[in-house]
Amino acid sequence: MHSSKLCLILFFALMVTDTFGQKKDDFVMQEHMRYSREKKFNTWSISAGYGPMIMYTDITSYTLFPNERWNFAPMVKVTKYLNPAFAFDFQLMGGNMYGSNVGYYFEGNLIDYTISNVGIINQMLSTPGPVKDKWNFYYKIGFGATAFRSKLYHSSNDSLVMVRDFSGDSLDTRYVVHGYDLYNPDKKITRERALLIPVGIGVLYRINRSFDIGLEMTMRFSLLDKFDNILAGATNDSYWYTNLNISYKIGKKNKRHKRWTYRGYEFNIFGVKKKYPLEDEVAALEKNIKQYEANRPVKTDSVFIVHNLKKIYSTHLVYSVYFSTGGTKVDKEDLVYIAEAAIQLMKNKKWRADIYGFSDDTGPADKNMEISRKRAEAVKDILVHDLGISEERLRLIPKGETELLSPTDKLSPRGLNMVNRRVDIVIRKY
């Protein structure tokens, strides 16, 4: 673990020294560096890397970094550059999984394979090209799958958890495992599979015409909630993978690789020559305006909901539940948001929650205050009686029609009244 940290420190030191330690006039562009569709460039590379894989599941006890066991994983990937700004890569990665929480821990391993779109950020700026002819910064987003095996253990005696430990059925002899026989956990069977979406950023440093080194960080969001064998969570499992890698650029050594070329102003980010830049910009602006006008209520709603709640409560741990006109009953679809708040409270025993109830401004103010109180109580009852949260950790704050998130006297009320008919569960880190 210490050697991996040292490698990361040295890499960042190299980046800072090289980027800021040169004078601006040290670099002179040569013709073979300039991108053109008529020129031939190398476009393929193969990379190998190694780094930490951090799990985020229902029974991990940490918020960001592991507080006990670190797992590291190798990876290989093949990358194809379509033009200086865009590429796609195929990546294969595998490593061990581990997570623990009160009473339980899980162990396992996974193999994932992903295909991602890669965008070179500095090729999209006003001066497109590598930074100092040495650095490329990129983002990536893709699609893939994970094949995994895992087992759930009791922390007290390291014994495997059985289904009957949860169900109470003494005749049930199945074990809580994935990728192993349910009745014989030592026998491997077909791995469980889950689809995933990788999203990440990275940086590349050009060593010479043959080799580059890089640092890449990706969050891999699974579409299932099975890695830890706990299926009661409100969010799907995910993991954060960071690797330090070295890549070999495939091709003739007398040719420059396409990712290290400079895209001139006459080419767009897709490597296609622009005929009338100003005309394209005007057309793009008109298209954006039309889209905005067609979707104005939805866009306005999103701005209020996503940004204003964080600003109002000074925290991102806000879970909102919405109600019908005059309604005080929680829809089944909204139970997932209440469960997300409950998981935060279960993982952090000292945290508390304020439950704010709101109504729209339709009807008398005293009636709206009573409706907002009943809505807050409905959410509280689910947290206490269904999810086991102590009542002492919850505080009810009915607001009625005061402090409207979306004032309907200024905005279209049809799409915005629902925003005001809500309960906000605000987690406080006391």
Sign for the pseudo-dihedral over CA of 50, 51, 56, 60: positive
186-207 pLDDT, tens digit per residue, is 999 999 999 999 999 999 999 9
Return the pLDDT at 24: 43
Return the pLDDT at 22: 43
Confidence of residue 289 (pLDDT cuts 50, 70, 90): very low
24-67 pLDDT, tens digit per residue, is 445 566 777 888 887 899 999 999 999 999 999 988 888 889 98
Confidence of residue 21 (pLDDT cuts 50, 70, 90): very low
Return the pLDDT at 396: 94
What value does the mean pLDDT take over residues 406-424?
65
Q: What percent of the chain has a predicted confidence (pLDDT) above 90?
A: 48
Provide the CA 244 distance to its chain's centre, in angstroms: 20
Return the pLDDT at 273: 62
Return the pLDDT at 334: 77
Closest alpha carbon to 296 in 211, 414, 382, 150: 414
Beta-ladder partners of 106:
99, 152
CB 50 within 8 A of CB 75: yes
239-287 pLDDT, tens digit per residue, is 999 999 999 999 998 899 999 998 765 666 666 665 544 445 445 544 5
User: How far apart are alpha carbons 342 and 349 in whole angstroms?
Assistant: 11
**pLDDT, mean over the chain:** 82
Of residues 309 and 159, more confidence is placed in 159
84-138 pLDDT, tens digit per residue, is 999 999 999 999 999 998 899 999 999 999 999 999 999 988 788 899 899 999 9
Checking if the pLDDT of 312 tops 90, the result is no
Confidence of residue 420 (pLDDT cuts 50, 70, 90): confident
149-168 pLDDT, tens digit per residue, is 999 999 999 999 999 998 88
| Listed ranges 210-224, 227-241, 254-268, 333-347; the one with the highest mean pLDDT | 210-224
Question: Length of the chain, please?
Answer: 430
Return the pLDDT at 275: 54
Checking if the pLDDT of 311 tops 90, the result is no
Question: Helix, strand or coil for residue 112?
Answer: strand
Q: What is the CA radius of gyration of the chain?
A: 27
What residue type is assigned to position 34 of the chain? R
Which domains can be identified in the chain, with CATH numbers? Answer: 2-260 (2.40.160.20), 293-428 (3.30.1330.60)
What value does the mean pLDDT take over residues 6-13?
49
Element (H, E) at 399: strand 394-400
Checking if the pLDDT of 298 tops 80, the result is no
Q: What angle do CA 209, 83, 12 make, to 5 degrees?
A: 50
What value does the mean pLDDT take over residues 400-417?
62
| Listed ranges 68-72, 305-309, 414-418; the one with the highest mean pLDDT | 68-72
Checking if the pLDDT of 410 tops 90, the result is no
Q: Two tokens at 45?
A: 């590379």
Confidence of residue 376 (pLDDT cuts 50, 70, 90): very high
Q: Are strands 394-400 and 352-358 parallel, antiparallel or unpaired?
A: parallel
Confidence of residue 419 (pLDDT cuts 50, 70, 90): confident
